[in-house]
Structure 1
Amino acid sequence: MLRLEELEAALPVMTRWRVAAGRGVDWAALEATLGTALPSDFRSLAEAYPALVVGDFLSVSVPRPGAEESWASEARDDEILQDLYEMEDMEDYVPFPQPGGLISWAESHSGDAFYWRTSPADPDAWPVVVRTDNGDWIEFPVGAVGFLAGVYGHTIDVPGMPGSFPGDGPQVLGLSDSVD
């Protein structure tokens, strides 16, 4: 499993949004509501960074301190995944909380969705699954941080993405933890 520093090396502009003291996410409350632990690489990312938008294209969703149960509820009750499942448009995937079900952690502004497949039992072994906006499902044998490091380090290619993705030197916007 890749460390956060390897993602920062692939996407150094993101470090301006790093929170040195950590964000203080209540993982016990989040995981109790969600019904599962989450991968340690994602937990490290979520402790170090607010939600991020990379290249005005990819939005990485992380729980906001004080709103962990809301993040978990949205992940658990993903209406889009449920609709795709009911329309039998998920290949062999299922929505969480079914065994091995998908949990969303990012989306693109073009309608692509990025998930974990919650199988095997160890969250640190969960692969990333991408559903492209044209309905293709692609699985990658890496976690979220490894996937992002690979995409922005140009070692992972995601078929079906726009030709400009991931681009060279994308900007990163950090979304504040404050509630408006």
Structure 2
Amino acid sequence: MNAALARLTQLITPPSQPRSPDWDAVQEQLGVALPTDYKELIRAYGGSNWDDYLYLLEPGCPNDNYDLIEWEDQQTEALEGLWEFEKKPDELADVGSRVIPWATTDNGECLYWLAKPGQHPDEWTVMVNEARGDRWEHYPMTCTEFLLAALTGEVQSDVLSSRFPLTTHEYRQLTAV
């Protein structure tokens, strides 16, 4: 277990039933390997809602609205269309760089991995995009480090809701609707 996940499990106790997607099949569908910390985070918490705001996407999530693979397909298509009219974030200037969603919010903000060519997935960092706008924030940390830092207030985002995190944390694992 990585250090950020260890701290997160002290902050919010994970459910007793771990999740374990078929990572080989998931990565084959996505056409890319996923970060180790994300796999550990999903194993511990699964697709989940944090502080009644942030939704951690899970491949094969019991709640289809938060399936990582579906989100990746939708966001890739949406961003390609958007970037025909709007400037891409500077972090995506390198040919082959892309963003891959790993979380969303109830307001529609999206949290992505910044994946650069030749970069190992464990080195991917976090990009946050506002819901209906072109503001992006970049955080040089893993998704688990970002989630922990956001929940503890160590990271302050101008894009995410000012009501996040809650004073008393709430967590729920997503289930079928």
Deviations 1:9-53 (A, max 9, x none): 3x32xx25242xx32311111111111110000000112222111
Change in Cα spacing, 1:126 to 1:18, as seen in structure 2 (3 Å) is farther
Provide the residue aligned with 1:31 in structure 2: 27
Instruction: State, as a whole percentage, how many aligned pairs show the same letter.
Output: 26
- Take 1:93 and 1:80, find their aligned partners in 2: how far apart are those partners? 18
- Take 1:159 and 1:18, find their aligned partners in 2: how far apart are those partners? 34
TM-score with structure 2 setting the length: 0.82
Deviation at 1:62, TM superposition (A): 1.1
Provide the residue aligned with 1:132 in structure 2: 130
Deviation at 1:138, TM superposition (A): 0.5
Q: Which letter maps to 2:165?
A: P
Deviation at 1:89, TM superposition (A): 4.3
> Runs of 5+ in structure 2 lacking a partner?
none
- Take 1:118 and 1:143, find their aligned partners in 2: how far apart are those partners? 11
Residue 39 of structure 2 aligns to a residue whose secondary structure is helix
- Take 1:77 and 1:163, find their aligned partners in 2: how far apart are those partners? 27
CA RMSD in angstroms, aligned pairs only: 2.5
TM-score with structure 1 setting the length: 0.81
Deviations 1:41-95 (A, max 9, x none): 000011222211112211110113799xx7435414523322322222432355x
> Runs of 5+ in structure 1 lacking a partner?
none
1:55 is the counterpart of 2:55: no
- Take 2:106 and 2:71, find their aligned partners in 1: how far apart are those partners? 18
30, 40, 46: which one aligns with 2:42: 46
Deviations 1:107-153 (A, max 9, x none): 11112110001125111110100012343111001011000010111
